[in-house]
A and B are shown apart, each in its own frame.
Chain A
């Protein structure tokens, strides 16, 4: 049974007979062909759950959770498995529950510009379906060919489009959730405008599968733009870079991407994207060239709007983290990274969106040095209302540093929400903030 080495001694394990009975019930529920013993690649940090199941519909997901809860088993939900390194190591985990068989685009109501999609559908499959009617979910998550809707929601993924269309919280309008007690509950609905009842779609977005397992989500959609233009600039220093980024946002243009790329061995570069009519794009590009006259225009690298994903490859060992800050502080933050990492000779690269959300990669063999920089940066960000979350790192780092950082004075409230939804701690125990 998979249990994290530093697991709490207080966890009461179910009896072998109870576990065997649960496996048998689960097999009967989903069919033997959809249940197997786990393999090494199913490991989450240092926890290898015993079993892996793939329910075929929302009722089976709820039923499986009810069986697991009844037997005292812990469940780790999984979609496309692209973000399984997220979170603190699980305190324990017995069962991986995959949503991959829930993979249908249930409805594309293109006249209403909404879509209902199952949790295990990949982002790419959804977009391809929506494109048939010239629409899209205005989001650009990492690894769209593998990442599932459920996983994207659980990790609150967002990319460059956020500057114009907001994050998932602004796009999701309905959800179906399977709770540990086997309840299947809906919240929100199929209409864009709806204030009936509590907004559970938002609560569940970014909750890392700790409250329930998403089985279905409903989104508002946007038209695929007629034209798209990208332009890039190089800057001599981070101060100029920040000034240009702020000036772009302080005028009345409507970019759908304002991105900064920087690194220990390069000067900061800015990418801008405009979408809409050709005339609108051209007029805005002209305006941009006037505003950014202090920066040098360069050719935009290929696939530049996917630059964030390149942070997941390079020299190892490495740490990839997500940071958030106030938009006006991006320049200062770049200076701080330089100051903090240079004496320790840690190479770094970052891709940040102008809304104040970015991703940073730090490389280095010295764990102590990595920890020191991470703690330095987190302290600085948190003091100013921001945050730093470690997304991928050597296990040793996780044992020495909480990946999430501070939840402030709202932690007790978050624990109380968790206790209501998952009173016995079945889902992803210990992986979320504050040990939730």
Chain B
């Protein structure tokens, strides 16, 4: 990068400019570590004005930029672009305002997710989105990916809890999307911005909604001989008209990993179910009894109900540590994120088992059973030639299966850099072209996190009709991904 431009960046952020190769390596990937690109520079702004000044320079010089929070994303959403800069929002980490009567909190994007809850917990409130990485991931990253978590079954996703945003658009202008009150007239711009994976601009201030902590929370743990039996219990619970705060399932391999790692004390079983109910005491107690009965009817041979916060923490410990725990039983593994309609869970689990046996690769299953969000963990050993490729192929084939069952290629990790080629399997060309209209309205020059989410760059000027294949495609010479 030209010294002239670096000088301009330095004038904005001072020491918050990193160009040393050794330091840049810290930022070469996010939680998806098999994709790495070294950015030209990393910038650490401390204010909206800084971000605006940086983006204006990028806009003038046509330098692509990528925003980053804590870098815990699992789809490569914060993967730098080769000829671009990385803008880390880690230093914009202040909680600006807490408005309890209206249940609103105003934060900068670098605030850590669980710090919001920590700040309001003494008043009985919490911030509902709870990705497993919540003790390190930032609000900015959460809103880029529209993060979920175990409790989104009842409480919704990040988008449910974001009311308004201050955003620096790719042209360097500052706009305010949404409002502190609901239903601001006009298009629902926070609705389209949240989950856009950093491709529409950079949020510099966020108005969040917080939720009152329920009167009572109880978590039931039930051990079954198989995930099929556990799955039947899930259907029974939903069928009885209940909406639990969370329903999580783990298969035997995932349980083994959790035990090896954090000694959660889980029973050694074929299918483990965690069901959390919350609400008024009288209601939770009554319904928890029913949940227990349904589990027993479906074959549960051990049931424990955790009532205190300490007991619940123990029950959740193994589940929350499950991804990392797999490292204890396999040198390498791929974390996948797919969704199927909940009733298709038994079928897809059977298929995954079959595919896993055929490939000779183990797959551990940890999933949000209430909403059909699967996290298959494909275990492999990089040292064995060809195994990484086969593991990748297997994990992609699992996603294809999700699409086949009417589901999605991602429930909460995002498309990022990892799954851009899968978008074409889930959506038809007119669907992708239509989404692109939004991109063109916000970022016609594709400067903000280019190359993410969509399979290929489309020029904004050409407002095309139905998709026309390129002559090279027709000739079989080239292929668009």
Query: Measured between alpha carbons, how far is A186 from B429 in the docked complex, in Å?
Result: 10
Q: Is A190 an interface residue (CB 8 A)?
A: yes
Complex contact B192–A193 (CB within 8 A): no
Of the candidates B153, B174, B430, B435, which one forms a contact with A198 in the assembled complex, judged by CB atoms under 8 Å apart? B435
State A331–B465 Cα separation when bound (angstroms).
53
Report the minimum CB–CB distance from A431 to chain B (whole Å): 12
Q: Does B395 contact A (CB under 8 A)?
A: no
| Bound complex: CA A186 to CA B427 (Å) | 8
Chain B residues with CB under 8 Å of A327's CB are 101-103
Bound complex: CA A389 to CA B184 (Å) = 9
**Do the beta carbons of B408 and A191 come within 8 Å of each other?**
yes
Of the residues A177, A192, A408, contact of B176 by C-beta under 8 Å: A408
Q: A407 at the A/B interface (Cβ < 8 Å)?
A: yes
Additional A-B contacts beyond A195-B414, A197-B435 (14; CB < 8 A) = A113-B238, A187-B427, A191-B371, A193-B148, A195-B411, A196-B408, A196-B419, A198-B196, A203-B187, A203-B188, A222-B243, A277-B286, A283-B280, A356-B102
Q: Is A433 in contact with B434, judged by CB distance below 8 angstroms?
A: no
Please measure, in the bound complex, the distance between the C-alpha atom of A330 and the C-alpha atom of B229, giving whole angstroms: 50
Q: B279 to chain A: which residues have CB within 8 Å?
A: 254, 276, 280
With a CB–CB cut-off of 8 A, which chain A residues contact B45? none
Give the contact stretch, choosing among B31-39, B208-216, B300-308, B386-394. B208-216
The verdict on A207 contacting B280 (CB below 8 Å), with A187-B434, A191-B339, A191-B408 known, is: no
* Residue among A113, A410, A434 facing the most chain B CB atoms (10 A cut-off): A410
In the bound complex, residues from chain A placing their C-beta under 8 Å from that of B286 are 277, 279-280
On whether A191 and B341 interact (CB within 8 A), knowing A283-B283, A413-B441, the answer reads yes
User: What B residues does A192 contact at CB under 8 A?
Assistant: 153, 371-372
Task: Give the chain A neighbours of B280 by CB distance below 8 A.
Answer: 252-254, 276, 280, 283-284
B156 in contact (CB, < 8 A): yes
Cβ-closest chain B residue relative to A134: B241
Contact with A along B84-97 (1 / 0, CB 8 A): 00000000000000
B213 — nearest CB in chain A belongs to which residue? A252
Which 6 pairs, one residue from A and one from B, show the smallest C-beta to C-beta distance? A202-B191, A280-B283, A223-B241, A185-B434, A385-B180, A328-B101
Contact of B310 with A by CB under 8 A: no
What residues on A are CB-neighbors of B355 within 8 Å?
none
Q: A112-B372, A279-B282 are in contact. Are A355 and B182 (CB under 8 A)?
A: yes
Of the residues B157, B283, B433, contact of A279 by C-beta under 8 Å? B283
Write the chain A residue with the least CB distance to B370.
A192
Residues of B within 8 A of A181 (CB): 463, 465
Chain A residue at minimal CB-CB distance from B342: A112
With a cutoff of 8 Å between Cβ atoms, the chain B residues found around residue A389 in the complex are: 185
- Complex formed: what's the CA distance from A324 to B164 in Å? 14
- Asked if B294 is at the interface of the complex by the 8 Å CB criterion, the answer is no
- Contact bitstring B430-458, A, C-beta under 8 A = 1, else 0: 11111101111110000000000110000
A198 and B179 in contact, given A193-B412, A252-B124, A280-B286 (Cβ under 8 angstroms): no
Q: Taking the complex as formed, is B410 at the interface, i.e. its CB lies under 8 A from any CB of chain A?
A: yes
Interface residue? A200 (CB, 8 A)? yes
Query: Which positions 182-205 of chain B face chain A at CB distance < 8 Å?
Result: 182-189, 191-192, 194-196
Binding site for A on B (CB under 8 A): 99-104, 124, 145-146, 148, 152-153, 156-157, 159-160, 164, 169, 173-177, 179-189, 191-192, 194-196, 212-215, 235, 238-239, 241-243, 279-283, 286-287, 339-343, 368, 371-373, 406-415, 419, 423, 426-428, 430-435, 437-442, 453-454, 463, 465-466
Query: Complex: how many Å from CA A276 to CA B146?
Result: 30
Q: A170 contacts B160, CB within 8 Å?
A: yes
Check B212 against A251 for contact (C-beta < 8 Å): yes
**Interface check A99, CB cutoff 8 A:** no
Residue of A nearest to B437 (CB): A420
Interface string of A198-226 (1 = CB under 8 A from B): 11101101110001000000000011111
Q: Does A386 contact B (CB under 8 A)?
A: yes
- Assess the A385–B181 pair: CB atoms within 8 A: yes
A189 touches B191 (CB 8 A): no
A111 beta carbon closer than 8 Å to chain B: yes
- Could you say which of B283, B439, B440 contacts A276, with CB atoms under 8 Å apart? B283
Contacts of B196 in A (CB 8 A): 198-199
Q: Is the CB of A205 within 8 A of B179?
A: no
Asked whether A48 is an interface residue with its Cβ less than 8 Å from the other chain, the reply is no
**Which residues of A from 246 to 288 have beta carbons under 8 Å from B?**
246, 249-254, 276-277, 279-280, 282-284
A317 within 8 A of B: no
Query: Nearest CB to that of A434 among chain B residues?
Result: B186
Residues of B within 8 A of A182 (CB): 465
Q: What residues on A are CB-neighbors of B159 within 8 Å?
A: 169, 199, 202
Q: What B residues does A249 contact at CB under 8 A?
A: 103, 212
What residues on A are CB-neighbors of B191 within 8 Å? Answer: 169, 199, 202-203, 205
Judge whether A186 and B431 touch: CB under 8 Å: yes
Are B181 and A195 touching (Cβ within 8 A)? no
Partner of A324, one of B183, B212, B407: B183
Bound CA–CA A254/B155 (angstroms) = 13
Residues of A within 8 A of B157 (CB): 193, 195
Contacts of A282 in B (CB 8 A): 282
Q: Which residue of B lies closest to A133 (CB)?
A: B239
8 contacting pairs across A/B (C-beta < 8 A): A185-B434, A191-B408, A194-B407, A195-B157, A196-B408, A205-B188, A324-B182, A409-B175
Across the interface, which residues of A come within 8 angstroms of B434, CB to CB? 177, 179, 183, 185, 187, 200, 421
List, in ascending order, chain A residues with CB within 8 A of B283's CB. Answer: 276-277, 279-280, 283
Query: Are B339 and A193 in contact (CB-based, < 8 A)?
Result: yes
Chain A nearest CB, measured from B340 CB (Å):
7
Contacting B at CB under 8 A, from A311-325, are: 322, 324-325
In the assembled complex, the Cα of A179 lies from the Cα of B430 at a distance in Å of 10
CA distance A228 to B442 in the complex (A): 45
B179: chain A residues within 8 A (beta carbon): 324, 385-387
Task: Find out whether the CB atom of B410 lies under 8 angstroms from the CB atom of A195.
Answer: yes
A190 to B371, CA, bound (A): 11
Residues on B with beta carbons closer than 8 Å to the beta carbon of A81: none
For A199, list chain B residues within 8 Å (CB).
146, 159, 191-192, 194-196
Most buried by A among B153, B186, B406: B186
Q: Name A111's contact: one of B124, B342, B427, B439 (CB within 8 Å).
A: B342
Please state if A414 and B189 are interface contacts (CB–CB under 8 Å): yes
The distance in angstroms between the C-alpha atoms of A253 and B282, with both chains bound, is 11
Q: Is A109 an interface residue (CB 8 A)?
A: yes
B288 CB, nearest partner CB in chain A, Å: 11
B242 touches A409 (CB 8 A): no
- In the assembled complex, the Cα of A283 lies from the Cα of B180 at a distance in Å of 32
> What is the CA–CA distance of A190 and B373 in the complex, to the nearest angstrom?
12
Say whether A202 contacts B169, CB under 8 Å: no
Residue of B whose beta carbon sits closest to that of A184: B430
For residue B295, give the distance in angstroms from its CB to the closest CB of chain A: 18
Q: Which residues of the partner chain A approach B430 to less than 8 Å between Cβ atoms?
A: 183-185
The complex places the Cα of A417 from the Cα of B413 at a distance, in Å, of 27
